[in-house]
Amino acid sequence: MRGEWVHLDEVWRQLQARADYPLPVREVLGQALAAVVLLSATVKYRGSLILQIRGDGPVHLLVVQATPEGTVRGLARWSRVPEQPDLAGIFGQGHIAITMEAASAAQERYQGIIALEGDSLAQALEGYFARSEQLPTRLHLFSDEQIAAGVLLQRLPGGDSRLGEPLNEDWQRCSLLLDTLTGQELRDLDAGSLVYRLFHEDEPRLFEGRPIRFHCGCSLQKVTGMVRSLGEEEALSILAEQGMIEVTCEFCNRQYRLDPVDVAGLFVSTPVGSGNSTIH
């Protein structure tokens, strides 16, 4: 068996500062942020891992992303404040998708999608692993205004088939031990204390951790590329109506503004034989 533990404090507070999330939305977003870090640590894939939930309930979209460089970002979109704290009360009917974005052209993009089921996000993700990966997995997630934390326990494939019954018993026992973990313990205990508290009889090995930081990949270059892809006619139409093209990043709330001079520069062609690649 293997386990992963994550504890986000400053990173989680930086993400919350980008939007005024109601309590039920904030809690599930924090849990999703912890979950995507845990999941990204379990896959041998050189690319970003994206967890996305879409539904027809009060919260219609939640997206979180973790990169191999140890950066995270995320957002939630809601039409009204959920009245019920369970998964159906927050998202209604919907689906959960886990996408592994390729880091290079040599890699393939992978995506798994299942119906959103279970009372909590942890249960929904456990169902994803049971159906899509056929890999027994347990999750315990917690978030409040200060902390987003989680622990994952996973049974590794393989092993001696002659030991099948003892291995099953070990998995069941460790899974039951995980069920004794409280949200307060997950919030307050460091990795070493939590692992000892749960599994000290099994002499677990605790590996070196790594830092996680908030980072958004938006940039002026990406924004100008998007405006250029609209075409000159569409860009000029927006300018005529609004006087300026404004783009706000949904992940970090950073605003980009392009005035008529900026937009004109995007559609200037370089004269043949000028010897310059850019006209200022």
CATH number for the domain harbouring residue 258: 3.90.1280.10
pLDDT at site 278: 36
Are 195 and 258 members of one domain? no
Are 225 and 105 members of one domain? no
35: confidence class by pLDDT, cuts 50, 70, 90: very high
Are 206 and 73 members of one domain? yes
Distance of CA 113 to the CA centre of its chain: 15
* pLDDT (average), residues 192-213: 90
Which range among 38-42, 72-76, 127-131, 156-160 shows the weakest confidence by mean pLDDT?
Answer: 156-160
pLDDT: is 31 or 222 the higher one?
A: 31
Per-residue CA distances from 28 to 59, 139, 158 (Å): 10, 14, 34
pLDDT at site 37: 95
Main-chain dihedrals φ then ψ at residue 191, nearest 5 degrees: -60, -45
* pLDDT (average), residues 4-31: 93
Per-residue CA distances from 51 to 17, 18, 36, 171, 268 (Å): 21, 19, 6, 26, 39
Give the pLDDT confidence of 134-169 residue by residue, as tens digits. Answer: 788 999 999 999 999 999 999 887 655 554 556 788
pLDDT at site 216: 80
Are 190 and 260 members of one domain? no
Answer whether 0.75 is exceeded by the pTM.
yes
pLDDT reading at 29 higher than 80: yes
Q: Give 54's strand partners.
A: 61, 95
Are 195 and 224 members of one domain? no
Q: How many domains does the chain have?
A: 2
> Would you tell me how many other CB atoms lie within 10 Å of the CB of residue 38?
24
Share of the chain above pLDDT 90, in %: 50
Measured distance CA(35)–CA(152) in Å, rounded? 8
Which range among 97-101, 126-130, 229-233, 269-273 shows the weakest confidence by mean pLDDT?
Answer: 269-273
264: confidence class by pLDDT, cuts 50, 70, 90: confident
